[in-house]
Chain A
Amino acid sequence: MLFFSRWKAISVLVTAILACLFAVPNFFPDRMVQRWPGWAQRHIVLGLDLQGGSHLLLEVDSNAVRKEKVQALLDDVRRVLREARIGYTGLVARGDSVEVRIREGADPQVALAKLRELSQPLGGVLGGGGQRTVNIADLAGGLIRLTLTQAAITERIRQSVDQSIQIVERRVNELGTVEPTIQREGIDRILVQVPGLQDPTRLKEILGKTAKLTFRLVDMSMSPEQALQGQPPPDSEILKDRNGVPYVIQKRVMVSGEELTDAQPGFDQRTSEPIVSFRFNSAGARRFAQVTQENVGRPFAIVLDNEVISAPVIREPILGGSGQISGSFTVEGANDLAILLRAGALPAPLTIIEERTVGPGLGQDSIQKGKIAAAVGSVLVVVFMLATYGLFGFFANVAVAVNVAMIFGLLSLLNATLTLPGIAGIVLTVGIAVDSNVLIYERIREEVRSGRSPISAIDAGFTRALATILDSNITTFIAAAVLFFIGTGAVRGFAVTLGIGILTTVFTAFTLTRLIVASWVRWRRPQLVPI
């Protein structure tokens, strides 16, 4: 156990030094590190609890996605039957299904055949395993039920989340934040982490808006007061503006925000009010021109997420494909609306289901306290080990110091996130790393007592203790691994440092401590074991 070939000794030292070297970039300012070669730039990322920032977990409203999908199916059924000139009576949505009753005299079989065209194989021709998007059932009496398959809905939700992630990314980036992380969590969730963001109110506002922009005509056949008292016309609905003023707006969308190519905040030249100016793509511009031409003198409502922003009267046809929205905005309001319009509408509303924000003050305090605790803990352990084992205690302290440096090196190599519980994990590792040395030294003491010569006692001590060290560390490692897989954020940070700490502890016990002691034995040829 005490013999090291030259090569083995060198490779142990090189591994340890390399691992420690990876920790170096952490001690230099970012600006300097950025000029280093790429492989040397890896460094530990401070968790949001240490550097401050916002963590938002968003959920895509899958019910809205489901409803929208059912509505689309309903529209398709109507279109297909109309095109085929098949008469029908009831057409209703029920849960995930659409039911339609074919009028007497029409052939239900023809209708069925036409409607079957609506059901497509899922995932194109290749994938999907024969799954289709819609199940069609022929109920008695001309009643046909079309049900969306679960697979089709799941697929749609998946697409919505993908789309939402892109849009969230665009919106967050527009805020000018530094290194935001946006990633999918589970099936229908999006995790947004923005380091350094102190007050997420604006971010939450921007993410909380679906931003569906529509241009629709105001229904002049009824005044809002009449509509509120009775029923609005069947093709119209009552929408309010920010101040609660009601409007009767046609349901039919003339032009939608999808046709926008650009939106910029600005100021009105005459009133110097904040405005948002926008530009349509060619299809949108044509449509916009046509509508404004046909409806000069009528109010044209601009609706965002079912709220009327403004309803100006069309004075003259707008042919250039660009226009401006003024709606008594604040400067920031105009800015946010422009961001939302540029980034595009979310396919479904997002709900914030978890928020964790740490201000920079608390983060700084935590780093400070973590440093003090680490320093005090280390000093206590070092002094205790020196008092207990003398020279061998010194060896142990060297091993533990290298151990901690290696933890930092490996964390940097993995670009891992260091959290406050993570610091606790490192401090604990110091206490535990010492344990491997204690196991070895106590075993050596025992072997000495049982009458072995010093060298043979040291040798036997290592051999017997190492098996124990392996066993005991693997059990802790299992706990750390489980913690890593179930934990999020700060807790995962703890699992990472604990797990890496165990690996480096086993490494130093098996190689470095042994190498130090072996070199010392070769050098001094001790007659007595000084522990």
Chain B
Amino acid sequence: MTIIHPGEKIIRVVHRHWIVVAQKMTMVAFLILVPIVGLFLLPLFVIPEALAALAVYLFSLYTLFIAVIAFGMWMDYYLDIWIITSERIIDIEHKGVFNREVSEFMMERVQDVTTHNPNFLSLLLGYGTIEVHTAGEKTFVGHDLPNVKEIKDIIIETRMKRA
């Protein structure tokens, strides 16, 4: 369990930008919509009853499969999190339902912070990638975070206070 130290203040809790999950969910909606249209058109064709029952079964199986994938996508969005506190940055990342990685690094170890808006939409909505280079070997990367410039400023400001 992530324990916040006494006197440690949570400055910002950051999830991925909503547009990222919205894009994925639009794709899921489209994938479900296509067989629904097919199912409504099914009575227009003269096909054996057994084949129609099989089509309904395959459709329900397909919808279940898509719903599970959508759930996985939502979980990935919902549980991936960056917590910026007055002392450290905690990066919790899910790679699947049960595969979970928690990294944290002290503000004192922060050396450089880089932000990157990879495309036009990200520039327009202000989300992007943030890279925090630490004194160690590892670079911490947060993908599709909202207000990256503001987050960068918060990290730099907190780092300056800790110096």
Partners in one complex: no
Which residues in A have some Cβ–Cβ distance to B below 8 Å? none
